[in-house]
Amino acid sequence: MKYRYFLFLALLEFALGIGIGLYSLSLGKFNVFIVALLFIVFMGAIINVVLYRYFKKVITESEADEND
């Protein structure tokens, strides 16, 4: 059950990246720092989705093994 926090964190990071991107776009101030920050935030979101899927698979497999 605790692995769902990875999905929640991924959604928050994705929303943060969209918010930063739209705010920078509205100001017209895209620079290397903003692009690097967006890259880090979106990579973090992708990593959290991968971790969510991994732990979900591990936990469901362990529960299936216990039921056998």
The pLDDT tens digits of the residues spanning 3-19 come to 789 999 999 999 999 99
- CA pair distance 63, 11, nearest whole angstrom: 27
Asked if the model's pLDDT at residue 67 lies above 90, the reply is no
CA dist 54 and 61 (Å) reads: 11
Instruction: Encode pLDDT of 40-62 as tens digits.
Output: 999 999 999 999 999 988 888 87
Read off the pTM. Answer: 0.82
d(CA 62, CA 36): 39
